[in-house]
Structure 1
């Protein structure tokens, strides 16, 4: 059994006891993991906050780290359910592809998508797929509105319009923060533009971003302004 598997076996075992917790001997008995391995893993998990140890009862309990991780997962699923109706409305009004993205480490992840049957260009925005922060509209929103995001040292160029200079990217993020929306003008895929706006949670923090992707020729008329206004409106409606 791999160490990661052993660790999760222990976490599952301890977590099943709720606030009561379990003593060392009982954890060994229930999991069947050797004492030496159990002792080492328990020590490591207490050190990182995944478990706590009560000296008075000699029992291990689940720690706040698991609560934070669980809250993050729950929030991700909640936002997907919450935002879906507004994505559908965004797609209905614009006739274009509408997507929801969230932050995952130092990259974005497509969490939901409403496709357009009339959209002739294939989009590589499958649910669960990662996207770069510096070259996408939703990525710029996450960079601009989420605290503590670390920009990668080397910025990959996808087209000749991709921002690969850190100073220019910081300036772009400042502009996005002030205007409340972001635009990807053929910066990751030639022939496509994307407009995104932030979705805020109950704590007032940016929980994700929604966007609308369309052919680049929309910039030649007032279609882009209509899409921008609709994206901003639906993002505001989706925010708690």
Structure 2
């Protein structure tokens, strides 16, 4: 490893960029440029150049109203890319098999990919079932799906805004689901409070889903586990399904990170 005095200018810039990225990834909320410069020991003039480049590459997000900087979706997608390399699928497949056997329902595993959920695994039942749109490789808007909401509910508000912000209303598929970020925030608050997400007919008419987030060692959501069904169960049955889904998600968290689950309250 080279010492600071041995580094060439390009290497110094790379080290500083990675230092900023690591620093922001560990912050629970956006911080000012002055705080970043102080804590990362980077001159303010150099820091602003770094931040502007990182912003163009979506590794950081700038909140101009508050003059704050936070981690961006580009950094999140790199982490998801590592999981999509096969680690997540190999670890999650046997757990989905058990979840489907336990609930008698189709189960899924997915990750955030930009503002969408990317479905990585699907475990079907032994019984003939009506088709679902959630095939492996399919992408659906995260704010409409239980799996997407389960992950979004565990992210800081500024990161949710960075992921989903667009002019006008949020997209819909069936005419149901949140149309504005303010409406979505209320849904995410309720999901976060109970520890799982429920969605009904937002992606496909008459199809419902229950999902829970999977976490990394830092307590950030890296994936979600969910089950889908056509028949609308009773409230007690939803609780039973949710319990099985959460246990599966927690089991995958332990497999991947080796640490206890830390959900945001």
- TM-score calculated relative to the size of structure 2: 0.60
Question: What value does the CA root-mean-square deviation take over the aligned residues?
Answer: 2.4
Instruction: Go from structure 1 to structure 2 and tell me whether the alpha carbon gap of 1:113 and 1:166 turns closer, same or farther (over 3 Å shift).
Output: same
Tell me if structure 2 keeps the 8 A contact 1:163–1:187.
Answer: no
Instruction: Go from structure 1 to structure 2 and tell me whether the alpha carbon gap of 1:119 and 1:136 turns closer, same or farther (over 3 Å shift).
Output: farther
Tell me if structure 2 keeps the 8 A contact 1:96–1:119.
Answer: no
Instruction: Go from structure 1 to structure 2 and tell me whether the alpha carbon gap of 1:72 and 1:123 turns closer, same or farther (over 3 Å shift).
Output: closer
Inter-partner Cα distance in structure 2 for 1:99 and 1:119: 17
Inter-partner Cα distance in structure 1 for 2:107 and 2:90: 14
* Residue aligning to 1:106: 115
Inter-partner Cα distance in structure 1 for 2:195 and 2:253: 13
4+ aligned runs moved over 4 Å, structure 1: 67-72
Task: Show the 5 A alignment for 1:178-189.
Answer: 178-189=193-204
Equivalenced residue count is: 176
Unaligned 5+ residue runs, structure 1? 1-46, 49-66
Tell me if structure 2 keeps the 8 A contact 1:185–1:216.
Answer: no
The Cα of 1:97 is off from its aligned counterpart by 0.5
Instruction: Specify the SS of the correspondent of 2:224.
Output: strand
Tell me if structure 1 keeps the 8 A contact 2:206–2:230.
Answer: yes
Inter-partner Cα distance in structure 1 for 2:110 and 2:226: 8
* Residue aligning to 1:174: 189
Instruction: Specify the SS of the correspondent of 2:132.
Output: coil
Instruction: Specify the SS of the correspondent of 1:217.
Output: coil
* Residue aligning to 2:88: 79
> Is 1:234 matched with 2:242?
no
Unaligned 5+ residue runs, structure 2? 1-52, 55-74, 255-265
Instruction: Go from structure 1 to structure 2 and tell me whether the alpha carbon gap of 1:119 and 1:232 turns closer, same or farther (over 3 Å shift).
Output: farther
Tell me if structure 1 keeps the 8 A contact 2:80–2:222.
Answer: no
Moved more, 146-155 or 168-177: 146-155
